[in-house]
Amino acid sequence: MTVPGTRSGQLTQAGGVWADVVGQEAAVAQFRRAAAPEGSLAQAWLVTGPPGSGRSTAARAFAATLQCEQGLGCGQCRACRTTLSGTHPDVTVVATDKLSIAKEEVRALVMTAQRAPATGNRRVVIVEDADRMSAGTFNVLLKSIEEPPPSTVWMLCAPSAEDLAPTIRSRCRLVTLAVPSSAVVADLLRRRDGIDEQLAVRAARAAQGHIGLALRYATQDGALAAREESARTLLSLRGAGEAVLAAQGLVDRATAEAKEHADVVAAEEKERFLRSAGIDDGKVPPSLRSQVRQLEEDAKRRQTRLVRDVLDRYLLDAHSVLRDVLSRQLGAEAELVNIEVAREIEQTAGRGSGRITLGLLEAVQEARDRISGNVPPLLAIEALLARIAVSLR
């Protein structure tokens, strides 16, 4: 299978530190103009784009451009390399997989932002999930963003500008990332991660523009097969009883997947904490017990969030299957996302009408909203699958 565009040099046109920022020509051009000697460098940036579009990769590339010893982000010098690998002393990256960024954490960041750069041209502070801040925490940040020291640059990343308080976003220069096409994502997996071409194309198509997810599909045993199996199940549902069982199956699978990931992170976190306290036999002394308990509670909250994230991904998958059905019903020529179940998609399309499928697409969106609005996931998914089962019969 050939992928249009992947052979030409245009995808990596910018090169250097921008090589892995794929499918974002407009945003890269905007950053490069700002970093040029005659450009105007804003001191607060807001990088928005859907999950997996490469917000933090873009922010790091821009930070490297600002630190580069050669000027424009050569990707080769020590400043570029250390910035991209996360070890540059003047570039601070805050990432969180917790529900929210703590106020104390932001206070510490603001202190860091006040300091002059130690070795580089600038001090750059990147906040990867800036949307995960409470109003009070935003206020702590606000002052520093209003009047940062002359060599400090803030880079906030969030899914959309609306996720930030208006007071913050009005002070930032906005950069909007697009959803990268499957072709550029496949090319990145092949080039950066050494994934075999056919697998890269398949994984990128399934991930629908989410770079991290595409990599997971390409590298995790059984991940693509499980996705395909879910699509098949969705299209074969025939009644409320099956829907209830399938919903329970999805929630169980999401819980297991989230728990596996959360357990690994929690164990690492605890080990790191104990090591920093000078304990290497794993025995927690009474004086540290409350802190360890706090860590464990954080981990539990994180797992709850993760289950919802995983379920949301399953629902996006279901959405893509129904969209494929709709595209066949409308006679569109577009390539299916779920080629592996093309036969089932054709059959389902032949049985129903576009109007019914459109209604189901809306129902998927509704279920996503309900789950993010804290409706118990099992309830929302049962209701959705029951409706699909009855409509596609």
Interacting residues toward Zn ion by CB under 5 A:
68, 70, 74, 77, 80
Smallest gap from residue 74 Cβ to Zn ion (A): 4
Supply the Cα-derived Rg of the chain in whole angstroms: 23
Q: Between 120 and 377, whose beta carbon lies closer to Zn ion?
A: 120
Least distance (Å) between residue 33 CB and Zn ion: 18
Closest by Cα among 184, 229, 192, 232 to 208: 184
66 or 311: whose CB is closer to Zn ion?
Answer: 66
Minimum gap (Å) between residue 115 Cβ and Zn ion: 23
Residue among 35 and 266 whose Cβ is closer to Zn ion: 35
Report the C-alpha gap between 215 and 369 in whole angstroms. Answer: 26
| Beta carbon of residue 354, minimum distance to Zn ion (angstroms, whole number) | 53
Please say which residue, 120 or 180, places its beta carbon nearer to Zn ion: 120
**What's the min distance (Å) between Cβ of 19 and Zn ion?**
12
CA atoms within 13 A on the CB side of 301: 11
Name which of 21 and 299 has its Cβ closer to Zn ion. 21
- For helices 78-85 and 55-67, what crossing angle results, to 10°? 150
Return the number of the residue (17 or 109) whose C-beta is nearest Zn ion.
17
Nearest to 185 by CA among 21, 317, 14, 337: 21
How does DSSP classify residue 124?
E
- Residue 352 · residue 373 · CB < 8 Å: no
One DSSP character per residue, 330-374 reads TT--PPPS-GGGHHHHHHHHHHS-HHHHHHHHHHHHHHHHHHHTT
CA-closest candidate to residue 140, choices 174, 172, 175, 167 = 167
Residue given tokens 């770079």 in the structure block: 211
Interatomic CA distance for residues 144 and 326, integer angstroms: 49
CB of 109 to Zn ion, least distance (A): 25
Q: How far is the CB of 340 from Zn ion (least distance, A)?
A: 43
Please state the closest distance from residue 150 (CB atom) to Zn ion, in A: 22
Q: What is the DSSP letter of 204?
A: H
DSSP 150: T
